[in-house]
Homo-oligomer: A and B are copies of this chain.
Amino acid sequence: MASPLDVAVIGLGSMGLGMALSLVRAGHRVAGCDIAEPGRAALAAAGGHAAATPAEAARGASAALVVVVNAAQTEAVLFGPEGAAATLAPGALIVSSATMAPADARRFAARAEEAGFHYLDAPISGGAAKAEAGALTVMASGSPAAFEAARPLLSAIAATVHELGGEAGIGASFKIVNQLLAGVHIAAACEAMVFAKSLGLDLDRVFEVISQSAGTSWMFENRVPHILEGDYRPKSAVSIFTKDLGIVSDIGRSGSFPLPIAASALQLFVATAAAGMARDDDASVARLYARIAGLDLPGETPPGTETR
């Protein structure tokens, strides 16, 4: 393996923690921080250092991976008070993985480069299990120098790295397009499954047949089992898609590009969140349809008899 590096991981949620643990396993010296205790404790238990602030995690490090929720948090943990940019080693690498508008990615890259850092616009996909396994997909863009510096880190966290271009913003754009489709496909899968229920169909059979037909999608095959099992513990929460389709919607509006399908899907995630399911699995859109239509889904109390 390459020589061990001092790496900060800012944000130890399910994705950031998995990435931090993958870096520890690859032999790097990892310091991480998060507002929440569980991520810090898990990193410390695995042999990493749990820091109190981004600045502490990044002190003297040659790279910082930023795996927070959005652009505002990314800006705060990099450039705010106690931010990482103040303490990173000169010429260090910043890898930014939150989903954000391309314009934000370009803005942060410019600011980082002005301060003498390399910046890789590197949104990720794959979910918590793949993060932990070091098998994420990374949609990355940035300067050749940023890619060069990132190589030992990316090899520890990712199974696939798409190198998408020489400047920040391109990675963010690819991720946004992916999220548009992913969000629409989840909402459509939920709409179709509860519609199938309204037609009196056997949902297990619907899953089996549609999975083999032209109506299938990656999300249909991944999320419908949650509906069939009545398991809405959040593998990925509704709130991720109110956020990501919100970004999609903002970009479309600011760029005068109409997105009627994405807008419908966004409203369904918003309605599902409004109905109290923001932190539940994103397949909960199916529960929203079932409640509206007065239908029973596996593991769900029939509407009208629930006590929640």
Binding site for B on A (CB under 8 A): 102, 125-126, 137, 139, 160, 162, 164, 170, 173-174, 176-182, 184-185, 187-189, 191-192, 194-196, 198-201, 205-206, 209-210, 212-220, 222, 248, 251-252, 255-265, 267-268, 289, 292-293
Contacts and interface: CB of A to CB of B under 8 A. Distances in A.
Nearest to A219: B214
A174 B212 contact: no
| Identical chains bound together, number | 2
Contacts of A260: 191, 264, 267-268
Main secondary structure of the interface of A (DSSP, over half): helix
B267 A185 contact: no
A251 B195 CA distance: 10
Given A102-B199, A177-B199, A137 B213 contact: yes
A213 B178 contact: yes
A188 B195 CA distance: 19
Contact of A212 (B137, B176, B185, B219): B137
A68 to B, nearest CB: 20
Contacts of A256: 293
A212 B180 CA distance: 15
A256 B194 CA distance: 12
Given A201-B170, A214-B222, A218-B217, A177 B162 contact: no
Given A184-B261, A256-B293, 19 more contacts: A102-B199, A137-B212, A137-B213, A173-B200, A173-B201, A174-B201, A177-B199, A177-B206, A177-B215, A178-B214, A178-B215, A181-B216, A182-B214, A185-B217, A188-B262, A195-B257, A214-B218, A258-B293, A261-B264
A206 to B, nearest CB: 6
A185 B257 contact: no
A178 B210 contact: yes
Contacts of A258: 289, 292-293
Given A181-B188, A185-B185, A192-B177, A257 B217 contact: no
B181 A220 contact: yes
Contacts of A200: 173
Q: Which of A220, A260, A289 counts the most chain B CB atoms within 10 A?
A: A260
A274 to B, nearest CB: 15
Contacts of A212: 137, 160
Contacts of A252: 195
Nearest to A292: B258
A139 B131 CA distance: 39
A-B pairs, top 4 by smallest CB distance, nearest first, are A181-B215, A217-B217, A178-B215, A173-B199
B262 A209 contact: no
Contacts of A125: 213-214
Q: Which of A173, A178, A218, A261 counts the most chain B CB atoms within 10 A?
A: A261
